[in-house]
């Protein structure tokens, strides 16, 4: 063999060795990256762990905080607000009632014709109105004038099938989903605005008085007979359909719970005990916190960077506003520490709240063989292309961990409320069997199937098979709208006239 041939052979061999070495190194690096990524997910799983024993501790802590919040103002992280709702709908309500639901950038107006036990909700109509952005930061006068004008237009179109009894004033249930210090069933002062509203001169004012003055300026003869928040409305709407409803839970963008308490079990209540002997309590449970909650570094960082650090800790673990963001933070750490998506961190992955919970839910529910939905979401939202099936499966696993923790903690919260009420057993104090229904509303519960099913199975796990047969979770769609109209009926100024 000539010298040239020998050199060529040596070069080819050397090149082959070099290529092989690069491939091996790449594989080793890839293997190293993968094991680092797996370690991040393993650690997440350990930190998010919610065994039944831990959930029982969370439930017990919830019940303890409920007692403390009922005993005194500021006695607990749970506000346990007295709603002044002492009569929930019975189904006997009759007449025409209105509702106004203000809780965001839109508000809804609704009218309902109630026909008593036989006809129930005989007819209902509603309209949704967008609030012009400048009114969200203007004056109280301007906002309430706009709302009252739209309400007056809606009343003017009262058509067939709606009848107001002679000589009666129209009555309205007002769902106002902002923090309010309630002073009676039909009055409450605004503590602070949220959700993009910032109207300084309304803070500290009675929102019912503001609305009433605006209605008078419009020449609209209408009385606000009930001021409620969306959770109380959900409870009322649920009770109207099913007399066994005793708790309402919102699992949507945010989270809250309300329940029926015995009036004599509220030490901070100093008024006359209501005739019904009951009082609905708005827990504001999103603010619950306990050393038993399984918090991770992702939760702590998200809380520290939030608009309300140290507040709404429970809500930040279980509600739709935050689940997708927790998943994003885990993926970012994997991209930074394990080069999970390649050598550079995808820039969009650094954008807070870019991964919304509905997108997380769509990925989680992907049943295609190649997890196509996961691939598309990563590409369209985060700009991450060419992901392997192995990578997509890992992302499903992260969704599993975060959603399961949220659902199981929400179940522990509900279990704690039932425990406080003495409804975690089959037999009541009096010896008779009891059935308890929890009315649940909110997009997270309605649309995130894995979350909903996990919540239900965890309730069974905590209650046990026998008791769980007497406790039901029922979807109460749009309780807050119709619930407000029903509460205006059950707290009508004409109630005693009708009963006599």
Q: 117, 195, 268, 352: which one is catalytic?
A: 195
User: To which H or E segment does residue 394 belong?
Assistant: helix 389-420
Encoded tokens for 385: 């292309």
Q: What are phi and psi of 367, to 5 degrees?
A: -110, 10
Q: 101, 206, 230, 303: which one is catalytic?
A: 230
Report yes or no: 442 and 398 within 8 Å, Cβ to Cβ: no
Rounded (to 5) percent helix, strand, coil in the chain: 50, 20, 35
Query: How is residue 5 annotated by DSSP?
Result: H
Residue 234, Cβ neighbours under 10 Å: how many? 32
Q: What are phi and psi of 18, to 5 degrees?
A: -60, -45
Report yes or no: 293 and 313 within 8 Å, Cβ to Cβ: yes
Q: What are phi and psi of 268, to 5 degrees?
A: -80, -5
What are all long-range contacts of 358-361, with beta carbons under 8 Å and residues at least 24 apart? 358/320, 358/324, 358/443, 358/447, 359/324, 360/323, 360/324, 360/327, 360/399, 360/402, 360/403, 361/403, 361/447, 361/448, 361/449, 361/450, 361/451
Q: What are phi and psi of 101, to 5 degrees?
A: -115, 105
Encoded tokens for 94: 């009759």
Angle (CA) 50-56-59 rounded to 5° is 105
Report yes or no: 102 and 480 within 8 Å, Cβ to Cβ: no
Encoded tokens for 352: 């807070």
366 catalytic? Reply is no
166 catalytic? Reply is no
Report yes or no: 196 and 123 within 8 Å, Cβ to Cβ: no
Q: What's the CA gap between 485 and 206, in Å, rounded?
A: 20
Report yes or no: 329 and 302 within 8 Å, Cβ to Cβ: yes
Encoded tokens for 62: 């919830």
- Which of 316, 403, 377 is CA-nearest to residue 44? 403
Q: What's the CA gap between 129 and 148, in Å, rounded?
A: 12
Report yes or no: 110 and 485 within 8 Å, Cβ to Cβ: yes
Pairing, β 81-82 against β 94-102: unpaired
Pairing, β 170-176 against β 94-102: parallel
Angle (CA) 490-493-499 rounded to 5° is 65
- Which of 294, 287, 248, 252 is CA-nearest to residue 414? 248
Q: Which residues are catalytic?
A: 195, 230
């Amino acid at each position: 063999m000539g010298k040239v041939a020998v050199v060529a052979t040596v070069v080819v061999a050397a090149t082959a060795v070099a290529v092989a070495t690069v491939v091996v190194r790449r594989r080793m690096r890839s293997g190293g990256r993968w094991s680092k990524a797996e370690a991040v997910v393993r650690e997440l799983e350990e930190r998010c762990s919610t065994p039944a024993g831990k959930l029982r501790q969370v439930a017990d802590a919830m019940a303890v905080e409920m007692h403390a919040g009922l005993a005194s103002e500021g006695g607990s992280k749970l506000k346990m607000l007295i709603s002044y709702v002492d009569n929930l709908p019975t189904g006997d309500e009759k007449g025409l009632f209105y509702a106004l639901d203000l809780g965001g950038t839109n508000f809804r107006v609704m009218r309902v014709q109630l026909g008593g036990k036989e006809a129930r909700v005989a007819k209902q109509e509603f309209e949704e109105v967008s609030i012009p952005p400048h009114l969200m930061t203007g004056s109280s006068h301007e906002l309430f004038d706009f709302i009252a004008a739209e309400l007056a237009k809606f009343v003017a179109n009262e058509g067939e099938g709606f009848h107001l009894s002679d000589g009666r004033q129209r009555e309205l249930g007002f769902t106002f989903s902002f923090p309010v210090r309630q002073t009676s069933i039909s009055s409450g002062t605004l503590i602070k605005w949220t959700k993009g509203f910032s109207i300084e001169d309304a803070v500290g004012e009675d929102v019912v008085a503001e609305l009433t003055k605006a209605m008078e300026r419009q020449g609209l003869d209408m009385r606000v007979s009930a001021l409620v928040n969306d959770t109380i409305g959900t409870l009322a709407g649920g009770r109207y359909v099913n007399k066994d409803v005793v708790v309402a839970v919102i699992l949507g963008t945010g989270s809250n719970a309300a329940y029926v308490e015995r009036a004599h079990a509220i030490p901070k209540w100093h008024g006359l005990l209501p005739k019904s002997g009951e009082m609905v309590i708005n827990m504001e449970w999103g603010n619950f916190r306990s050393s038993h909650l399984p918090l991770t570094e992702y939760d702590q960082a998200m809380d520290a960077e939030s608009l309300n650090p140290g507040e709404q800790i429970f809500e930040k673990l279980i509600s739709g506003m935050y689940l997708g963001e927790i998943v994003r933070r885990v993926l970012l750490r994997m991209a930074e520490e394990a080069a999970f998506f390649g050598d550079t961190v995808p820039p969009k992955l650094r954008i807070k709240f870019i991964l919304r919970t509905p997108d997380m839910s769509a990925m989680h529910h992907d049943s295609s063989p190649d997890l196509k939905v996961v691939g598309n979401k990563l590409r369209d939202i985060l700009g991450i292309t060419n992901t392997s099936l192995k990578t997509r499966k890992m992302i499903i696993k992260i969704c599993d961990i975060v959603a399961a923790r949220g659902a199981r903690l929400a179940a522990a919260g509900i279990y704690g409320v039932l425990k406080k009420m003495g409804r975690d057993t089959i037999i009541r104090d009096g010896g008779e069997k009891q059935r308890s229904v929890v009315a649940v509303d909110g997009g997270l519960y309605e649309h995130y199937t894995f979350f909903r099913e996990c919540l239900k199975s965890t309730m069974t796990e905590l209650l046990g098979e026998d008791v769980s047969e007497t406790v039901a979770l029922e979807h109460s769609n749009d309780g807050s709208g119709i619930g407000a109209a029903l509460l205006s009926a059950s707290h009508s100024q004409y109630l005693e006239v009708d009963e006599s």
